[in-house]
Amino acid sequence: MSILINRETRLLVQGITGKEGLFHSEQMRKNGTHIVAGVTPGKGGEWVLDEKVPIFDTVQTAVKATGANVSVIFVPAKFSFDAIYEAIESQLELIVCITEGIPAMDMLKIKSILRTSNSILIGPNSPGIITPGQAKVGIIPGNIALPGNIGVVSRSGTLTYEVLHALKENEKGVSTCVGIGGDAIIGSGFIDILSMFEQDADTEKVILIGEIGGKEEELAADYIATEMTKPVIAYIAGRTAPKGKRMGHAGAIIEGRAGSAMQKIELFRKAGVKVAEYPEDIPALL
């Protein structure tokens, strides 16, 4: 059991002919992901990945021809609005956007469009999703996670990798790991993914990896306290970050006390969440 992606996922890669898109498509395929199509305008009719994956000019024609139900986007930021919009218009179930630095106004428009669609957007600035042993969509290394019953949801790509590796070293497996993205405006937040893990019969525990800035963690703490029955372990990065200074991600900025690591930690502890001091402490808390 898993959430969002599994062995049945039929993946379409937008921007498959670019350097990053092609490299990570090869890695995704090596991890068992069924890539059925790529999309690069002007290159329709060509083939990639040992001449086994066809390229189309538009998402709509790719979906009609291949039955793709998930898209991953490796498109430069200035073209990402059009790429996401095209995927939504093609009624894809899931859209994962790896691209960082999409203008805030573009994302506000996308958020508005998503409200009247059935598509789920993960990202932007997301490392993607992995269901170990079944499929991965994005750039999370496939060799750092074991299949298991622990759900992982994170705002930080690098910390995601560190926690997955620590779990593997302690022989603990993952149902699905979702990187929601570190930008200030994203498609799906912590609550969206937590609710999926809550409903997933084979996810028994959940790890949440947060960071300074924004209100995602505060909202998640309230949701955990009132709605979740499964135990949650959290780690919050950025305890020593100075106020008013962005640290890494566009969403990682503290304004006054709002968004600080200590405020988030306090709220999680009040919600009954165990909070790790360091990422490597998480396996022991489980």
pLDDT (tens, 9 = 90+) of the chain, 286 residues, equals 689 999 999 999 999 999 999 999 999 999 999 999 999 999 999 999 999 999 999 999 999 999 999 999 999 999 999 999 999 999 999 999 999 999 999 999 999 999 999 999 999 999 999 999 999 999 999 999 999 999 999 999 999 999 999 999 999 999 999 999 999 999 999 999 999 999 999 999 999 999 998 899 999 999 999 999 999 999 999 775 566 555 555 454 544 455 789 999 999 999 999 999 999 999 999 9
Phi and psi based region of residue 91 (left: phi greater than 0; alpha: psi -120 to 50; beta: remaining): left
pLDDT at 238: 76
pLDDT at 213: 87
pLDDT at 259: 73
Cα distance between residue 108 and residue 124, in whole Å: 12
Closest CA to 271 of 236, 229, 237: 229
What domains, with CATH codes, occur in the chain?
10-122 (3.40.50.720), 144-285 (3.40.50.261)
Phi, psi (deg, nearest 5) at residue 209:
-110, 110
C-beta of residue 6 within 8 angstroms of C-beta of residue 107: no
pLDDT at 62: 98
Evaluate if pTM is beyond 0.85.
yes
pLDDT at 10: 98
pLDDT at 1: 62
Q: Which residues are catalytic?
A: 249
Amino acid at 2: S
Dihedral over Cα of 208, 213, 218, 223: its sign: negative
* Contacting residues for 115 by C-beta, under 8 A, at least 6 apart: none
Q: Rg for the chain (alpha carbons), in Å?
A: 18
Phi, psi (deg, nearest 5) at residue 150:
-105, 125
